[in-house]
Every structure is written in C-alpha cells, then in structure tokens.
C-alpha cells in the first residue's frame, strides 16, 4: 500500500538537515550544524524545499485528513524510485510539483539532502519572487530601490494584498494552463506605480 502523506509528515516532523547534508533529529542539532528544520507547525502544508504554499488547503477537521487530503504536494522519492527506492516514510519527501520536477533523481541520498538544503536557504519561494520582481523592474527600466520605497508606502495588510492580487489577475492573461511570472511581476509593478503616484 502507498505511504500516506500523514505518515510522511509524522516521520519528518522532528527532523532537520544539517550543513553537511545529514538528516538529524532537530533536538539533537547544535548551532554548529546550521540545520534547516523540515517543518514547525503540524497544520502547515507547504513545499519542504522551496516553501511555496498551496492556494487552498484541504477541508478537514483533523490533522491526519488535512495531510492525507492535500492535493498540492507530491510524494517525492529520495532514493530514486526507478533505481529501486522504496515507498516508505523515510524515503519520501513532500514537494510542490515544480520542485518535484527539479529534484535530483539519485542513488546518493546526500545529493537529495544537499539540494533541499540549498533550496531552503538560497532558492526558496520568497527569494524567487524577489528575484523575479527585480528582473521585471530591469525589463521595464524601473528603479528597483525606488519601487521598494513605493512598496513600503503601501503599508500592506491582508485586505490590500487581496485587492492587489485581484487587480494583478485582471491584467494577466493565461498562457496554456499558466500565467507567467513575468506577466505577474510586470503587472504588479504597473499597479504599484499607479497606486503610489504623486
Ligand atoms: Zn517547491
């Protein structure tokens, strides 16, 4: 039988990956390990590599079904399935579809852990958005520092973020089944300029 997401979560919930790409109990880690903890809160579904969040979480009244009914994360094999990697909690890791494609298919476990460690530290979702924002600013020949200042002036809260996302969605067109990051970020800059015009 296929290992369920909740079992995978249960195995990894108290684990961390150290700077030497070893899996260790979080409690046993010291500051020298510079470890990345896999997950903090039991009710938080997110990609364990890039930290992307699902747009919707499963409707559920307990933790077990919250994990098992999730549709966002893939069950990714650590030791590659095609090389005989088993369907056990210790050999499975929960990744968003993008990271699942990007993850190394390997027989060297340390390669997988090194990749996760790198994603968490240097290539996570927040950093990707920041990079894409700055790229869009360069394409539009806008001053990035100036844009960041305008962004601060917006003093965002949950309501204004919702409104902003709505306005962005109106300006973006679907290309196949996706809206490109460049259209999202470039329209975000247009809106940012409009809203903070003096
Ligand atoms: Zn991811």
pLDDT in tens, 21-51: 999 999 999 999 999 999 999 989 999 999 9
11 plus 105 within the same structural domain: yes
Tell me the C-alpha distance between 87 and 3, whole Å: 6
48 plus 111 within the same structural domain: yes
* 22 Cβ contact partners less than 8 Å away, ≥ 6 residues apart: 110, 113
Higher pLDDT, 119 or 177: 119
Distance 195 CA to ligand 1 centre (A): 31
- For 128-176, the DSSP string reads HHHHHHHHHHHHTT--HHHHHHHHHHT---HHHHHHHHHHHHHH---BT
42 plus 135 within the same structural domain: no
Number of independent structural domains in the chain: 2
Q: Is the pLDDT confidence value at 136 over 90?
A: yes
Distance 78 CA to ligand 1 centre (A): 15
For 124-136, what is the mean pLDDT?
93
Q: Using pLDDT thresholds of 50, 70 and 90, give the confidence band for residue 111.
A: very high
Q: Is the pLDDT confidence value at 64 over 90?
A: yes
Domain residues for the domain of 76 are 5-123
26 plus 115 within the same structural domain: yes
**Rounded to two decimals, what is the model's pTM?**
0.79
Tokens of 59: 């409707």
Domain boundary among 123, 140, 162: 123
Which residues sit with Cβ closer than 5 angstroms to ligand 1, an ion?
47, 49-50, 52, 96, 99
109 plus 27 within the same structural domain: yes
60 plus 110 within the same structural domain: yes
Distance 155 CA to ligand 1 centre (A): 28
Tell me the C-alpha distance between 186 and 171, whole Å: 10
Q: Using pLDDT thresholds of 50, 70 and 90, give the confidence band for residue 55.
A: confident
Distance 108 CA to ligand 1 centre (A): 21
Distance 125 CA to ligand 1 centre (A): 7
pLDDT > 70: percent of the chain: 100
Distance 71 CA to ligand 1 centre (A): 14
Average pLDDT in the chain:
92
99 plus 50 within the same structural domain: yes
């Amino acid at each position: 039988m296929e290992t369920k997401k909740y079992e995978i979560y249960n195995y990894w919930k108290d684990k961390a990956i150290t700077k030497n790409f070893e899996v260790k109990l979080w409690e046993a880690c010291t500051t020298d390990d510079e470890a990345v903890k896999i997950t903090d809160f039991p009710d938080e579904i997110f990609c364990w590599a890039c930290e992307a969040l699902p747009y919707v979480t499963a409707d559920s009244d307990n933790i077990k079904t919250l994990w098992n009914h999730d549709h966002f994360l893939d069950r990714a094999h650590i030791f590659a399935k095609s090389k005989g990697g088993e369907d056990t909690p210790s050999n499975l890791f929960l990744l968003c579809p993008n990271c699942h494609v990007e993850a190394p298919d390997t027989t060297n476990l340390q390669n997988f852990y090194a990749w996760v460690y790198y994603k968490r530290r240097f290539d996570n979702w927040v950093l990707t958005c920041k990079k894409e924002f700055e790229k869009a600013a360069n394409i539009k020949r806008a001053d990035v520092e100036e844009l960041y200042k305008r962004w601060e002036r917006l003093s965002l809260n949950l309501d204004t973020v919702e409104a902003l996302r709505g306005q962005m969605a109106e300006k973006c067109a679907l290309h196949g089944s996706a809206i490109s990051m460049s259209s999202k970020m470039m329209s975000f800059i247009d809106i940012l300029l409009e809203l903070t015009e003096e």
